[in-house]
Structure 1
């Protein structure tokens, strides 16, 4: 877990003052990396006064975006794979047949079980008939109590034998179902371990299916950092550097020292994010003051970053040090003061620079 402070995506730039459009740029001067140097008399763009903004300070916890549902399928049978109907990357639906295993020995056993059921049914019918006859005779005092008890016992045994034969048939049907491997849910085939002709053993992995419509990011953080987190709370996150919103699924002890695991889910029905990608979750820990500028106001030259500062003497390009950023704004950690005016060049796509809400600015 890194301790880099980041900005929540909901934080916007401070109140805007003095918006104006200047004329076209008259020229540019090259500048050394150190200090500020004049860029042009005036740069065409929108002037924005830099304000002090209260933002949420966060810690960045890294993790991996994993699918909410993933299943590695196997079988209880031991036999030869006769068909594999999917390849890695195929999209499958719930219940779709993925693989078949040779089950001819089960077919032979099925005939045996069928014969056992027929025999048990015949014995049960005979025992029931005999029991009914002895019951009638016993009622007329023509049969003894011992005879009645004997036929009742034979009937009970016959009925138990029939139930056992029927249970064996049900067990055989269940085993036969393992000869066809189906998808437990809709998703994508991510792993195919066998080909037709391979030997399948009980419990051996055959095919893996993932449902990436919802991803889970699991990160670890200290107890002090997660104390205020609640299930259902939305956090700023990123998957492969792309900002996303993650909803807390739960916070549980990590089983190591004072660490806790934060599980957060990200909707991914369009499949925009790949499972297994590097992820980061911003956990809010405090509030602090910061200087924010629109991303469109940042100018770059190699590894150098700067902004165009407007003053009475004209516009100048000033190199600054940047902090964390969101999709719309970036914090300036040094090189820019509150109250100075910067220019968002009109040649670059302007970023919305609305004032932060009262709640964020308090």
Structure 2
């Protein structure tokens, strides 16, 4: 049986005070008939003044009676509590089983991406001129090669017409040179050769006559010498004229034709350049897409280096992701990817097309 300890704290300053009775049961071996030894319980019981228990300092006998009554009640509770309870069966936890199968382990890499269009062009004019008119607005779908805007080009058209006339004149000169039978320089050289031959023949006849007269003794030696000098000079002039004519006949014609052809090519180049300047005043779309920006208005000055409008091809979207190296090593070209918009719209599937090892200085990935 367990030991019952009681304690009564009574204030002695007044003849009638409230008290607290504390009963504690400590676990000790207790013999129960028919069941052997059982463990008792140590329990604390507090009787507060609100339950109507009062103690009087004048009558200690009444206090002992009350204490015995309280202890006997607690003892009955203790004996009931010491009775051994029946063990409850342990609950059975359900276990889900499945057959073992072979499969690949998927590594999912999640990161924020920035969307880019498939193609984007900031169309910049190649000439500085005022905008004559726009043929499209923001949001319009355009085709490849479609005319988007026109710049003022009257001065460019005039320059193109002038260069076209110069080109036509050069072609005419080339046809005249190539179709001529005897060029002027060759004709003049032939005339010079004929005159030099006549002078040479005259000098030879004079020399022959004077030598004959000198042999007959009718002419002085001095006149014969003068005739010989004149003949030598005439022969030198003839040889020079003949060589010049032969040179012109061999290469002069080809050179003249080449010179005329060069003039034609130069005139054609100037004409093509002016035509290109005229074409630069017509702004066309480099590919099919959507006009996303048009910052200028008709009449404003379009300058080289400043975008006139922006065209994007949004038929396909490219998502660019910067990730750490330990994550990028698991990503391969051809892997499936799922892109979920930030607004919660339906996800879009795609494939990895490029894995670049280059690092981003902004994100250090």
Q: Which has the higher contact order (CA 8 A, sep 6+)?
A: 1
Q: Judging changes above 3 Å, is the alpha-carbon distance between structure 1 residues 76 and 147 closer, same or farther for their aligned structure 2 residues?
A: same
Structure 2 residue 147 is the aligned partner of structure 1 residue 97: yes
Shift of 1:177: 1.3
Write 1 or 2 for the structure with the bigger share of strand. Answer: 1
Note the residue ranges of structure 1 that are not aligned, 5 or more in a row: 1-48, 262-362
Q: 1:228 to 1:57 in 2, by over 3 A?
A: closer
User: Aligned-pair distance for 1:57?
Assistant: 4.6
Structure 2 CA distance for aligned equivalents of residues 256 and 180 of structure 1: 39
Over 4 Å off, 4+ runs = 49-55, 134-138
Is it true that 1:183 corresponds to 2:232 in the alignment? no
CA distance in 2, matches of 1:118, 1:108: 16
- More helix per residue: 1 or 2? 2
User: Separation in 1 of the partners of 2:258 and 2:271?
Assistant: 20
Q: What's the secondary structure of 2:333's corresponding residue? A: coil
User: What residue number does 2:127 align with?
Assistant: 77
Does the 8 Å CA contact 2:186/2:249 hold for their aligned counterparts? no
Say whether the 8 Å CA contact 1:189–1:208 is kept in structure 2.
yes
What is the CA–CA distance in structure 1 between the aligned matches of 2:106 and 2:335, rounded to whole Å?
15
Task: Tell me the equivalent position of 2:260.
Answer: 158
After superposition, residues 55-74 of structure 1 pair within 5 angstroms as: 56-74=106-124
Which is higher, the Rg of structure 1 or of structure 2?
A: 2
Q: Distance in 2 between matches of 1:51 and 1:210?
A: 54
Deviation at 1:84, TM superposition (A): 0.8
Equivalent pair of 1:76/1:202 in contact (CA under 8 Å): yes
Residue deviations 1:292-319, cap 9 Å, x none? Answer: xxxxxxxxxxxxxxxxxxxxxxxxxxxx
Q: Secondary structure at the match of 1:156?
A: helix
CA 1:256/1:210 → structure 2, altered by over 3 Å: closer, same or farther?
Answer: closer
Aligned to 2:56: none
Structure 2 regions of 5+ residues with no counterpart? 1-94, 194-241
Partners of 1:239 and 1:176 in 2: CA distance: 45
Asked if residue 133 in structure 1 is aligned to residue 182 in structure 2, the reply is yes
1:192-231 to structure 2, matched below 5 A, reads: 192-231=294-333
RMSD: 3.2
Matched, 1:254 2:303: no
Q: Residue 348 of structure 2 corresponds to which residue in structure 1?
A: 244
Aligned partner of 1:31 in structure 2 is none
In 2 relative to 1, CA 113–153 (structure 1 residues): closer, same or farther, beyond 3 Å?
A: same
Paired residues in the alignment total 210
TM-score under structure 2 normalisation?
0.51
Give 1:229 deviation, angstroms. 2.4
